[in-house]
Amino acid sequence: MNNVLETEDFYDIIRNSEGDLMFSVKARQGGPERPKVIYGGGEHALFYRSINQTVVLDYIHPDVRDTLRQVKSVLIVEFYGDSIIREYNVPVRQVTQLPLPEDLSSLDLSSLELVEPTNV
């Protein structure tokens, strides 16, 4: 099966008073398998929804970045229209740098090889 890399351009991040984060993203086909979020402190995060499906969360708002650097997990809520399809907690792994170019517009998906992160 081929690896699928998508960019999530339109999503919401909600932070409650305790500092918990919820990401609302569009629903995708199939359920999550060992999902995780990888974050390096910058504008983007990688959401490994399954071994073969990775979603680039494009432009993490500056007001949320410090909180995302501190949390151990986030709630992912998948929507289709006005309906919640599924919700689940996802661990967050902090890294020093994401395996992405700074300018995502220069990302050549045809040559990108995704590698499943280890020790997550």
Q: Is position 109 within any domain?
A: no
Q: Which residues contact 31 (CB under 8 A, 6 or more apart)?
A: 86
The whole domain housing 67 covers 4-99
Please tell me the predicted confidence (pLDDT) of residue 18.
82
Q: Is position 41 within any domain?
A: yes
Q: Model's pTM, two decimal places?
A: 0.79
Distance CA 117, CA 34 (A): 11
The number of distinct structural domains making up the chain is 1
Q: What is the pLDDT along the chain (120 residues), one digit of tens a residue?
A: 567 788 887 899 998 888 789 999 999 989 999 999 999 999 999 999 998 899 999 889 999 999 999 999 999 999 999 999 999 999 999 998 887 655 555 554 444 444 343 333
Q: What is the pLDDT of residues 78-99, one digit of tens each?
A: 999 999 999 999 999 999 888 7
Q: Is position 112 within any domain?
A: no
